[in-house]
Each structure stands twice: as C-alpha cells, then as structure tokens.
Amino acid sequence: MVLYSFKLNKKFAFTNLFVALQLSVALILMIITVSSIMSRIDDYLPLRKVLSSQGKCVYVSEVNYINDTRFSFTVEDILNAEKNISEIYSGYKTPLVPSGTENYDHSYSYSRNMAELYTPRMLKGKWLDKADKDSDVLEVVVSDSDNYDIGDIISFYNLNNEEKTYSAKVIGILADDAKVLGLEGSNENVLDFRDMYKHMESECFFFSSEQIEKMRIGLTLYGQMFVTYKNNLNDSELLDLNRNLYKYGSNLGLSDELNINSKNYIKEDIILIFPIALCVLFLVVISEVVAVSIQTKRELKFYAVLNICGATKKHCIIINLLCSLFVSLVGIIIAVIFVLINYNSLSSSFIINFDFVQIFVCSIIVIMNMLLSVIIPYKILSKKAIIEVLKK
Amino acid sequence: MIKLNNIVKIYNPKKANEFKALHEVSCEINDGEMIAIIGKSGAGKSTLLHILACIDSYQEGEYIIDETLVKNLSERQYAKIRNEKIGMVMQDFALVEDFTALENVMIPLNFSKQKIKGKKEKALAALKSVGIEDLAKKPCNKLSGGQKQRVAIARAIVNEPSMILADEPTGALDSKTSEEIMDLFKSLNKHGKTIVIVTHDPKIANQCDRIIEISDGRILS
Ligand SMILES: Nc1ncnc2c1ncn2[C@@H]1O[C@H](COP(=O)(O)OP(=O)(O)O)[C@@H](O)[C@H]1O
Ligand SMILES: [Mg+2]
C-alpha cells in the first residue's frame, strides 16, 4: 500500500507539490503569527509576578542632587526607611572601567532578584542569575561578541580609585539583539512592559551584585526599580508609601496600572492576529478539502480496480492517507527549512521562534489535514458502490 | 460449486428511479464448467456477473459459493472472497493504465490475506501462462487491446481462484484477437477453472459447455 500511495504521489507530483507548498505556507504563517504573539508575551511574563503585586515602578537616576549635594541611596537605605516595602528589584551602575579605556558608564549590575526575573537572549554562556555567589574572581557578562569570548579575562579599574584593578572572567555573551531589563536611561512615560526593556547599543558589562559587594567596589542604584509592597497595608499606609517613594526618584507608575496597560497591549495584539490565524486555518481546510476531493475522485477508477482485486474501502482510504501523509511531510520539511534559514540569516526580518506552542499549533494543522484526508475519501467512497465507477 | 436461489436485484430501491434488474434468478454452476451468459443489452447480464463476483449486493434470495452463503457479510469478507475465489475480467480491461503489466498482475497478491512468498515470480508465471511475460515491464497504456486483456486475465488467475468471471472480454477486440482470448479461456478451463463469460456474440457463446440466456432480468433457459 505504501508503494501504491507512492505511485499516486508520483502521478500527481505537480499538484501535490502545490498542496505541500500551501501547507508549508500555512505552517510558516502560523509560526510567525504565534511567534509574534509569544514574543510579546515572553517580555511580559518575567514581569508578571512583579506587576501583579501591589507596588510601584520608580526611576532612579544615577546621581541625585539635593541643595547641590550629590548623594545616592542604597537598597538598604530605602528598606530601612520604608518598613512597608516587601521587596526591591533594581539595576545598578558600578564604577568599573575596562583598563586602558575611557569607556565609562557601561558597567551595570542587578540585584539578584532582578537578575532572576529576566534572562536576556544569550549568544553563549550564562546570565548573572547563574553566576557564582561565592566566587573570588569577578564574573562578567558582555554584550560584545566581537572582542570577547567565554573564559576571557578582562581587566578593569575602579573609576573612584584608579589604583585599584580587577580581573573579571567572561561567563556569558549577550546575543546581538538582546534586550536587558530595567536599565532604560530616561524617565519618560512608562506605559507598559515594553518600556522596561532596552537594547544595549554599545559595549556593556554586567556584573553580579553579590561579587561587586564582596569586593567593595560600589553599586549605585540605577534605572527602573520595582518596589513591591507588603500585603494588607491600609489606605493611609499606602498613601504614605506611594508618596515617600518620590524621594528616591521619579515615579513611573503604580504596578497595577502598568499591569493593566501591559495586558491590554497583549490583548490588542492577539485580537489583531487571531482573525488572521483563523483565516489561515480556514484556507488550509478549504484547500485541503478541494485537493483531497479532486485526488480521490480522479483516482476512483484506480480504487475500483483495487477493489475487484480484493481491496476493501479501508485499504483505499489508507492509500489516500499515506499519500496525504507524504505530501504533508514535504510541506513540513519545506516549512522547517524556511524556519532554519530564517533563524540563521534573516533573523531580524521575522520574529520566528520554535517552541512548544508553535509545535502545538502546527500539529493541529497537520492533524486536521490528516483527518480531512481520511474523512473525505471515506465520504466519497461511501457515496455509491465502487462497481458503479467501472460501469461507465 | 455455485448456487443462486431466487436472486432479486433492485437498483435504487424505494426511490423514484427504482429498477428491478433481476427477477428471482436461480441457477447452478458446477466446478470446471465453462458457461456463457447471453442476452440483449440491458438484460441484466452484467448485474448477474457482478453479484457472482461479490462486487454488488442483492436484495432477496441466496448466493452460495462453495457452501458459503454470500449475504450480509462484512466488507472484509467480501474482499477476501474476491481476492481468493474469483478472478474478474472486464470488457474495458480495468487495468491501472500507468502501472506496468507486472504491477497490475501483482495487485491481487498485494491484497491477499495470506503471506505470499515470491510475489514477483508468481506474477511473472501468470504473465507467462497468458503468453506475454516479455511485456512485464511495459506500462499498460503502451499495450494493444489484446495484450491488455491478457494482462487482465493474468491478473485474474494469479491468485489461483477456482472461478473466472469475464464481462464481454472480447467486446473491445477484433475477431482474430477475440479467438486468441477465447483459446486462452478454453485452456484455463481445461486446467480445471470454472469460467463464466458474459457475451452477446453467439460465436463466443457456442464455444462454451452451456449457455444461460437472460432477458429482462429473467433466465430463459
Ligand atoms: N446503477 C444502476 N442504476 C439503475 N439502473 C441500472 C444500474 N445499473 C444497471 N441498471 C439497469 O439494469 C439493467 C441491466 O443492466 P446490465 O446488467 O448492465 O445489462 P447488460 O445485460 O447489458 O449487462 C439495465 O436496464 C440498466 O439500465
Ligand atoms: Mg453489460
């Protein structure tokens, strides 16, 4: 039967190639739409926990001046002053500068909980959340893949004390298109989760805050700081805390507002893309119905001949199914090749990811195809006795 | 041994275009007989043959083949009978045109319930017995009518059925080729096969042991 389906495929190679192509186009479209939905959700998910708890997002600028005096806060300062804060997630700047350069202002760090919230897209190696807390050498993640590789040792000096130099081992390299969380260097309106990520334009260095603290290099709160409140605060405590947080930087918004905005943005996106996905699905069904009907009808005489030689209807349907299976396989292969090519070369032209959700959606399309290529031949072959085909 | 008892065949039963093609047809065919079924066009010859071949159903009566009652069987059982007990030859050959002769002859072997060893050799032997083993690799659409009918006969006998049913096997052939095909049937009959040939050509019918004449769905003799 495999042989017979193969022969059928050969006979209809041309039409079947188009059926395969349309399937692959459908799969690719689905992968792209699902990927674009997922990519947005992917940016939201790390922040969901933070944004769903009561709290606030505060933009802390590196340097604060009160009465012309330069000063900065530490997380401990804030936690000591505000007893109703539950947790603080924050980025830092560190005064480390690569030796022999004047590349100031590009060394960052994260509080551990912030580093754990979001892992940027890595080219190689690991992110800070996997850094060794007790390491005696500094570990660094770099954004520049041209000049550094995993295991390289980079030498830094301390901007506040140029005598002091440190060696840091490269443990990770960010992908070219990586975004990092919370280091947005401005205090413009932050509306939803999109505004909390930033592409790093220049060469940047990310250190583990534990290691920096251990070596007493110095950390300055910097960028978007997420503050979560303790549960069960009464109204006046809430009001106080909300107001007090203005002391530490410009307030970007309450977590609930940001959360609602974020969810709305995702919903908008899904509402836009979902009908497209449905249409694709619909087109796949229609063209599959047409293709399978035409093929079955064209091959009725073939099935009639098999029938007088001792084949049952089931045999014929299996042959038809194997035929479609083969065509689907070709379609899947074309789609996979496209996805792979895209991964390797045009990675920025489409958002393409291949995850469980994409596999799931594609499986649904393929299974639907398979079902149709069983149901339709069954309907057609059941409509009348096969012998009627031979009478004409 | 085949027995038909009061077979009634109605096309499109209980519909406006209902048509009774066979009226209480009864007859017996013994093993090893060579029988002609004759009658005018539309008399019901093909209908009867299709029932004998288990490719069509009937409404009333009984059809018994080698002590098996062929009635209300499952599709698989019908297919098994077609595959093992019956070889079918049609007027328009009913070949898969883009298959080779050999591939056509192998079809019944591929749908056999038994494990068959040496399918290809068996098919080649069948082609040899109809005298065209040298055409085995040729696609059927490149064969002449006579050659096609030989392929069809090879396919009908490859599974060694006891009975061969032929519906106007010479209808599309010239008289010389018809003679050759008839000779083939006669030699198969000599080797013990039961042969039933539907025809409206008296010359063909007269070469058979017995003639059954049908008119308007009834057996006359
Ligand atoms: N599928 C069908 N539906 C309705 N009538 C049919 C069908 N097949 C055959 N008939 C009718 O049954 C009668 C017998 O047909 P058939 O057995 O093919 O005759 P023939 O003796 O020429 O082979 C004819 O009158 C034909 O019109
Ligand atoms: Mg007829």
DSSP string computed for A248-270? GSEEEEEHHHHHHHHHHHHHHHH
What is the enclosing helix (H) or strand (E) of A173?
strand A161-174
Q: Does B19 touch chain A (CB under 8 A)?
A: no
Q: Which contacts of A35-38 are long-range, i.e. CB under 8 A and separated by 24 or more positions? A: A35/A350, A35/A351, A35/A352, A35/A353, A35/A354, A35/A358, A36/A269, A36/A273, A36/A351, A37/A266, A37/A269, A37/A270, A37/A273, A38/A353, A38/A355, A38/A357, A38/A358
Please choose, from the candidates A174, A158, A164, the residue with its C-alpha nearest in 3D space to the C-alpha of residue A122. A174
Q: What pLDDT, on a 0 to 100 scale, did the predictor assign at position A58?
A: 84
CB-based contact B209:B34 (threshold 8 Å): yes
Least confident of A119-128, A211-220, B25-34, B93-102: A211-220
**Alpha carbon of B59 to ligand 2 centroid (Å):** 20
pTM of the model: 0.74
Q: Is the pLDDT of residue B177 over 90?
A: yes
Q: Where are the beta strands (DSSP E) in B30-95?
A: 34-38, 60-65, 68-69, 86-89
d(CA A210, CA A196): 23
Q: What is the ipTM of this complex?
A: 0.93
Residue located via tokens 């980079």: A154
How many angstroms separate the CA of residue B30 from the nearest CA in chain A?
Answer: 23
How many angstroms separate the CA of residue A121 from the nearest CA in chain B?
Answer: 55
Beta-carbon separation of A387 and B56 below 8 A: yes
Among B9, B82, B85, B113, which would you mutate to test the A interface (most chain A Cβ atoms within 10 Å of its Cβ)? B82
φ/ψ (deg, to 5) at A362: -65, -40
**Alpha carbon of B203 to ligand 2 centroid (Å):** 17
Nearest CA in chain B to A385: B56
* Three-class SS of A303-363: HHHHHHCCCCHHHHHHHHHHHHHHHHHHHHHHHHHHHHHHHHCCCCCCCCCCCHHHHHHHH
The tens digit of pLDDT for each residue in B150-173 reads 999 999 999 999 999 999 999 889
What is the enclosing helix (H) or strand (E) of B211?
strand B210-215
Q: What pLDDT, on a 0 to 100 scale, did the predictor assign at position B185?
A: 96
Q: What pLDDT, on a 0 to 100 scale, did the predictor assign at position A63?
A: 61
- Name the token pair of A339: 């996805």
φ/ψ (deg, to 5) at A311: -85, 150
CA geometry: angle at A194 spanning A188 and A200, to 5°? 80
pLDDT band at B99 (very low <50, low <70, confident <90, very high): very high
CA distances from A189 to A71, A180, A201, A226, B28 (A): 25, 18, 21, 15, 97
d(CA A91, CA A205): 13
pLDDT in tens, chain A (392 residues): 788 888 888 888 888 888 899 889 888 888 888 887 887 788 888 888 888 888 988 888 766 555 555 566 778 888 888 889 999 999 988 889 998 887 778 899 999 899 999 999 898 899 999 888 778 889 999 987 788 899 999 999 988 888 888 999 999 999 888 889 888 655 566 678 888 888 877 889 999 988 988 888 888 888 888 999 998 888 899 888 888 888 887 777 888 888 998 888 888 878 888 888 888 888 888 888 888 888 888 888 999 999 999 999 899 999 988 888 888 899 999 998 988 887 766 555 556 666 788 888 889 888 888 888 889 989 988 887 777 887 76
Contact list in A for residue B152 (CB cut-off 8 A) is: none
